Amino acid sequence: MEMFNAKTDKERIGPLKKSKAIEHLREVEIYYLRCMKKYNTETSYDVIAGELPYFKTLNYTEYAGNFTIQPLNIQLSGLEILMILMFILNHIQ
């Protein structure tokens, strides 16, 4: 578990403190990591990389109070965002 790991925070954000407003994501991270053990994939926390399209790693992070999961392949990640935006736009009443 890295999202709420003090050592990880110190390495990445130094003396800054994470907002307590994301504390609800602690249970989400635990659940996500437990679920991912069932699959032949790896997880990484808060990483940007250019993994090949037949990716094996799913990156997760917190963004604006939300738990996000995306592939480490930049093109696939961008396509995923575009598809989400299209879904949202098609379902706005």
Q: Domain residues of the chain, as ranges?
A: 6-90
pLDDT along the chain (93 residues), means of 10: 89 90 94 94 86 82 89 82 89 79
Query: What local confidence, expressed as pLDDT, does residue 7 receive?
Result: 92
Question: Element (H or E) spanning 33, and its range?
Answer: helix 25-36
- R_g of the chain computed on alpha carbons: 15
Q: How far apart are CA 33 and CA 60, in angstroms?
A: 10
Strand, coil or helix: 82 = helix
Indicate the residue type of 45: Y
